[in-house]
Amino acid sequence: MNVTMKLTGLLIILLVGVVLGLQTAERGISKVSGVPEGQAQTFSIKKVDQGQVEIAVMGKQVQTANPKEMVNYVSRIGLTLGGSIKSGAQSFVDWVGSFFEP
């Protein structure tokens, strides 16, 4: 069970890293080519009308019945993921620090 949780955590971190890397590469390519920046193809959130939000992931539009529910859902996932990454990093630093204790 413990190995499964570690593997799942590492896969989530890898996925986040890949998405951030794609966004960084896309921005770098657009700067080098001199093409004016359009809508990002990796991940973009754009406010359309009064409270309406348009979300695109990997170039595909994500439709939601109620955008406020989607934002709250994504926000909760982000907070949970951030907390788990923070606690994981803290335990890793404590583990590495335990090697250097007298």
Backbone angles phi and psi of 18, in degrees to 5: -65, -45
Is pTM, for the whole model, over 0.85? no
The confidence score (pLDDT) of residue 2 equals 81
CA dist., res. 50 & res. 52, Å (int) = 6
Residue 84's pLDDT band (boundaries 50, 70, 90)? very high
Q: How many residues does the structure list for the chain?
A: 102
Q: Where are the domains of the chain?
A: 65-102
The confidence score (pLDDT) of residue 4 equals 86
The confidence score (pLDDT) of residue 30 equals 75
pLDDT, greater one: 38 or 94: 94
CA-based nearest residue to 56, from 88, 4, 47, 24: 47
* pLDDT single digits (tens) 6-64: 888 899 999 889 888 888 887 887 777 776 666 556 666 777 777 677 777 766 776 65
